[in-house]
Structure 1
Amino acid sequence: MILNKHKLYILSTYFPPTISVASNRILAFANYIDKSVFDVEVITVENENNAKESIELVSYKVKRFKNSGLFHIMKFTGKESFFIHKLKAAYNKVFTYFVRNEYQLWQNLAEKYLSEKFLQNKKSIVLSTYAPVSTHLAALNLKKKGNDFFWIADFRDNMIHPHFNKSQENYFDKIQKEIVNSAELILSVSEPILDYLAKYQTTKKSNFLEIRNGFDFDMENVKKNFNNIFTVSYVGSFYGERKPFNFFEALKLFLINNSEAKIQINFVGVGNQIQIPDFASKIISTSPKVTHNQALQAMQDSDALLLIHPNQNQKGVFSGKIFEYLGCLKPIIATVDKNDVAAKLIEDCRAGFVAEFDDINATADCFQKAYDLWLNHKSLDFNLDLIKQHHRKVQVKRLNEELKNLLKL
């Protein structure tokens, strides 16, 4: 037991009750960081459902600041019409073109708060997480002002996206380089992203550590069932090039070869983001955004789980839902980049069937294999030991060990 604990401040605009993979990642940090060594406080955004003052929870504190301002990114509820969804997406694209830092006012308040805290706590650690860029900028500015703290910069994604124009690319490229050369420890969700970030090192020898996302429930409690109708669920949202159109073509091919098949496909959390083709209108249902517990229940009530992610120039994209899919021990039908991390993880875990994103015949074949498993009431020979390594508690344990080593605790 360490009497004089280190203060660990987590900077994130995503945190419950906001529903997202990002919120779940930060919640796992807050829950599983070793409290015998670190006092944890999450600094996040206030909304109408959150109290403004600092809230003492079971094992950590939460401090919320309001992000004032007239204009913000529009949120998707999943309940809006297809037309309204498209309007929101168009607005967001224009907004991000002109606005680099939506959370500037929140960032200013977070910086001021931490400056005051540093005067009280000499052994401070700051964990900032991207996206958005505001959290990293707050930590970077505090470093530039001469504050002495141990900085952990967490990258849930690469800062530079393929759709950026040259101005945006130059802006984020410069910031990314400054972060990598200022932080003591760089985290990311995958090795390819860490390898990419390491190329920015020029002046400082930072440490790099992969902390994957994961599932946060007991695998032993997952029910094993076979529904009367083959039930496949996709849980999440669609955006950009992540769309199910190739899957629809594969489904049509499957139905030609299995005209008597009884199937039900659920798109959970999708709402009106997509238009269902006429041939599948009776076997596909969509629902708006649901709570995290409802999403997990939908996964566990399924016979197979659908993962859709397009090929990208940037490697290292797992998709956050893959880990909860794994924890549910249901066959995964994956239409993804076969040369990226998600495909390899599914294969290593013996957890499903993988097709190239744009390979319709291969996707139909994957669907057929999952259907045949259900039809014969058979299960996959899952690599349970490897899947268990992706519980969030196990992943955060790696961070605990790295911090104790680097801080010589």
Structure 2
Amino acid sequence: MKTNILLISLYYPPINSIASNRIAAICKYLDPESFDIDVVTLLSDDAQPYENNKNIRIFRVKDTSFFRPFRFLTRTNKVLHNAKALWNILLQNIFPEYSGWKKNVLKTIASLQNDKHYDIIFSSYGPSAPHEIALKIKKTSDAKWIADMRDEMSLNPFLSPRKRKKLARIEQLIFDNCDMITSVSKPILEDFRTLARDKAEHIRFLEIRNGYDFPLRTHDSFRNGLFTISHIGSFYGERNPSNFLSALSLLHKKALLPSIRVNFIGISKPISIPDNLRSVINVSSSVTHYDALNAMEQSDALLLIHPTTGNKGIYTGKLFEYLGMKKPILALIDPNDVAADLINQTNAGYSGDNSDIDTIQQNLLRLYHEWEANTPRYFNIELIQKHHRKEQIGRLENSIIKLLHE
């Protein structure tokens, strides 16, 4: 008999995000002979309300909330972008989040439960709405509940104190009721274990990293006529390219990078480009996942930016696709966190703190000179292959089987 899974996530294709890719990979790689999956997700403008694909049914539910957050899909001017961001912050702190969607999802699930018994409830954060829905269902269900914490909740340093306090309350309810917590890294899992205190004794904790979902690239001889370094994805909060641009501007003034092109792809937030770099920088708005992968493949190096916050366990989802592309990485990240460790272990590039302009310059010059000399890079292929989505979801499948047989 198959195991029935109810998967609740705000994000799912065709919504274009790393969160969507994570949930889609779960559906793709869990054994179809062993699992039937019902996905309940958000209805977006370009999607069908219902799909049925072999062992996967997708129910896309409309958000009828009066107050709804803005999505940053296209590049806008600074005033409009800041106005949208301010509205979303106010929405998070004043009004119930996705209240209309939660209400409609609960009705949808109640209807589904009339015809099907679920063995597993799998809900994915963020936002907290999927977990809040799972909490209500768990109270009247004997299903095992897996709470997927892709990122920190109450420990997220970019949230307001009021929002963190609200999430802390939800966390404790999750710890009271869930059977397993998954997250993208061991440090984040350990933070949840600490927050759970004695409640952690009845919870399984499992690291399921994000990953890449394409054949490992084999284009070792690829080389552009100009050294092309690309950043794929949006900027938000404290994550921005200002320090990278400062370092690049200093090198450009010294004529140390005579043949360089920089691409910022998938940008919605306006960025300030120094005058002396306007001829070498290209900026484009949101692109499809296919186009994003193609842009990575057509680059000589890839740029990763995440400022040091003191919180540990931050990989950022795009790192794994960068690794799968086998492109050298310039990482402006916490040099003492998991992402820097993985880049070192895979021999995939160079890391330095986002605030360290001198190190950014040194690492950028190293990559440029390696491109100039056409120096081969010997990646740790075996380790990179372990970060394919199929490998990561295989670990989840094994844990689900164990959970059901407890």
Task: Please state which band the TM-score falls in when normalised by the shorter chain.
Answer: over 0.9
Distance in 2 separating the partners of 1:218 and 1:263: 28
Question: What is the rounded CA distance, in whole Å, between the counterparts of 2:162 and 2:205 in structure 1?
Answer: 28
Conserved 8 A contact 1:272-1:288: no
Could you tell me the TM-score, scaled by structure 1's length? 0.94
CA distance in 1, matches of 2:219, 2:401: 34
Superposition deviation, residue 142 in structure 1: 1.5
AA partner of residue 246 (structure 1):
N
Question: Match for 1:361 among 358, 362, 368?
Answer: 358
Match for residue 305 of structure 2 among 296, 305, 308: 308
The alpha carbon displacement at 1:264 in A equals: 0.2
Which residue pairs with 2:56 in the alignment?
60
SS in 2 for 1:305: strand
Task: Please say if 1:231 is aligned against 2:225.
Answer: no
1:251–1:406 CA distance, 2 compared to 1 (3 A): same
Partner residue in 1 for 2:128: 133
Offset of residue 120 of structure 1 = 3.6
Runs of 5+ consecutive residues of structure 2 not aligned to the other structure: none
The residue that corresponds to 1:152 in the other structure is: 146
The alpha carbon displacement at 1:398 in A equals 0.4
Q: CA deviation at 1:59?
A: 4.0
Aligned to 2:157: 162
CA distance in 1, matches of 2:134, 2:123: 7
Question: What pairs with 1:27-66 in structure 2 (closer than 5 Å)?
Answer: 27-52=24-49, 54-66=50-62
Alpha-carbon offset, residue 38 of structure 1:
0.8
Once the two structures are superposed, residues 197-255 of structure 1 have per-residue CA deviations (whole angstroms, 9 ceiling, x without a partner) of 01114345100100000110001455741101000000001111111111112112322
> Which of 87, 91, 94 is equivalent to 1:91?
87
Moved segments of 4+, more than 6 Å: none
Residue 6 of structure 1: how far off its partner (Å) = 1.2
> Partners in 2 of 1:154 and 1:177 — Cα distance?
15
Distance of aligned partners of 1:277 and 1:58 in 2 relative to their CA distance in 1, 3 Å threshold: farther
Q: Report Cα offsets for 1:369-400 as digits up to 9, x if no partner.
A: 11011001122210000001111111000001
Q: Distance in 1 between matches of 2:63 and 2:360?
A: 44
Residue deviations 1:322-355 (CA, integer Å, cap 9, x gap): 0000000010001111111111111111100111
In the comparison of the two structures, how many residue pairs are matched?
403
> Which residue is 1:296 aligned to?
293
Q: Are the counterparts in 2 of residues 233 and 267 from structure 1 also a CA contact under 8 Å?
A: yes
1:379 is matched with 376
Alignment of 1:187-202 (within 5 A): 187-199=182-194, 200-202=196-198
1:233 is paired with a residue whose SS is strand
1:61-101 deviation line (CA, Å, top 9, x unaligned): 101111102221111123322322122112222222213x4
Distance 2:37 2:234 in 1: 31
**2:367 is matched with which residue?**
370
* Counterparts of 2:102 and 2:256, CA distance in 1: 57
Instruction: Give the distance between the partners of 1:197 and 1:140, measured in 2 at CA.
Output: 17
Runs of 5+ consecutive residues of structure 1 not aligned to the other structure: none
Partners of 1:304 and 1:333 within 8 A in 2: yes
The 3 A distance-change label for structure 1 pair 271 and 198 is: closer
**Is the contact between residue 257 and residue 368 of structure 2 (CA under 8 Å) also seen in structure 1?**
no
Give the direction of change, closer, same or farther, for the CA distance of 1:70–1:119 in structure 2 (3 Å limit): closer
Give the drift of 1:259.
4.0
Query: In the superposition, relative to structure 1, how do residues 298 and 223 fare at CA in structure 2: closer, same or farther (>3 Å)?
Result: farther
* Aligned residues of 1:181 and 1:201 also touching (Cα < 8 A): no
RMSD value over aligned CA atoms? 1.7
Tell me the alpha carbon deviations over residues 145-194 of structure 1, each in whole angstroms, 9 at most, x when there is no partner: x3111111000111122244443222211111111231111100111110
Is the 8 Å Cα contact of residues 13 and 132 (structure 1) preserved in structure 2?
yes
* Partner Cα distance (2:211, 2:227) in 1: 26
Question: Is this contact kept in 1: 2:231–2:263, CA < 8 A?
Answer: yes
For the 8 Å contact 1:316–1:340, the answer to whether it is kept is yes
CA distance in 2, matches of 1:17, 1:197: 30
Judge which range, 247-256 or 148-157, deviates more: 247-256
Normalising to structure 2: TM-score of the pair? 0.95
The letter for the 2-side match of 1:51 is Q
Distance 1:24 1:115, change over 3 A: same
